[in-house]
A and B are shown apart, each in its own frame.
Chain A
């Protein structure tokens, strides 16, 4: 497909060869989506899948010019991945990735005003990952209850300590069980 057309029109976007997708900055997302929806070459009228991904901060080794290796902190971010298809032309998919600046205050513009089909999927990402979609008409928790405060699909989510007895606990489970039963014994 003429994906070059997107990168030409929007120089801020970047083609990622490894994942076969287009990385779009969140400032340009709505323009790009509007472009692929209405441009006669694409006519992507159907957003199939919207999913969130959590990338934790990590340390990466960078080789300097003199050969010494230094560790650099790479900040973590959240990512929203869109898969677009065209029902009219039966083409697709075009994959867009939109990254947030950080994991603390993640904001991505909502594409729900353009595609109704993204409404519940964006709500789900808000619920499970905590990405806030600006311009979403009804951004509430969808799967968990309203009083819930965590974002459980994030990689660093700590689940509540309600682990129960297991015949052969090991590793993490054993640590958890020990902690659980010691606190339980203290209460009773």
Chain B
């Protein structure tokens, strides 16, 4: 419930700060997003460059790269996801504790990018796991990753803990884990998760 602005400022003068649980929750989430130290390909180098001296990801409270998925909040899918790697990516995502966010960094993670025609390239990680922010580019510049992080922080600010639009980890109908694809004789089985990814239908001509 929104608090009256006048009342709030009056109380602040007396040293009393009022905020909803939601605000505190979102503020603390957004200020310490710990990414998973997880590089796949070329974009990972730009991710490291973002964390290094010139771009300094620490300014946004996200410099603590955790090698273990169990300590991380944010998975930056930085690079091409191949079919051989896809089950491991989904498994890592499942191992991350909620709340968890995913940034698909670069054209390959979004759609397969320049390697889309490859027989071993997954055409976008959103075939298997839900993605919060997509960053285009091949590779995206470090500034783009910073922008994506700020975008994610704005998304976190607008999270709701209750109500119709509540976050997915408080929604009982949402799965906490996503099925891991298996290696098949010709392709991954299944090639995509029907619950997450819906291929666009084409309407063309008479058909």
**In the complex, what residues of B have CB within 8 A of residue A177's CB?**
202
A171 within 8 A of B: no
Q: Is the CB of A148 within 8 A of B123?
A: no
* CA of A157 to CA of B118, assembled, Å: 12
* CA of A143 to CA of B84, assembled, Å: 9
- Cβ-neighbour of B84 out of A144, A150, A164, A165 (below 8 A): A144
Per the 8 Å Cβ criterion, residues 114-168 of A in contact with B are: 143-150, 152, 157, 159-160, 162, 164-165
Q: Is the CB of A147 within 8 A of B185?
A: yes
| Count of interface residues, chain A, beta-carbon cutoff 8 Å | 20
Known: A147-B183, A152-B120. A160 touches B191 (CB 8 A): yes
**In the complex, what residues of A have CB within 8 A of residue B83's CB?**
145
Q: Is the CB of B84 within 8 A of A145?
A: yes
Q: Is the CB of A181 within 8 A of B119?
A: no
**In the complex, what residues of A have CB within 8 A of residue B192's CB?**
162
Known: A148-B186, A160-B187, A160-B191. A181 touches B202 (CB 8 A): yes
A71 within 8 A of B: no
Q: How near does chain A come to B88, taking the closest CB pair, in angstroms?
A: 11
Between-chain CB contacts (< 8 Å), 22 pairs: A143-B84, A144-B84, A145-B83, A145-B183, A146-B183, A147-B183, A147-B184, A148-B185, A149-B185, A149-B186, A150-B186, A152-B120, A157-B119, A160-B187, A162-B123, A162-B191, A164-B111, A164-B124, A164-B199, A165-B202, A181-B202, A184-B199
Chain A interface residues (CB < 8 Å from chain B): 143-150, 152, 157, 159-160, 162, 164-165, 169, 177, 181, 184-185
Given contacts A145-B183, A148-B185, A164-B199, 17 further A-B contacts (CB under 8 A): A143-B84, A143-B120, A145-B83, A146-B183, A147-B183, A147-B184, A148-B183, A149-B186, A150-B186, A152-B120, A157-B119, A160-B191, A164-B123, A164-B124, A165-B202, A177-B202, A181-B201
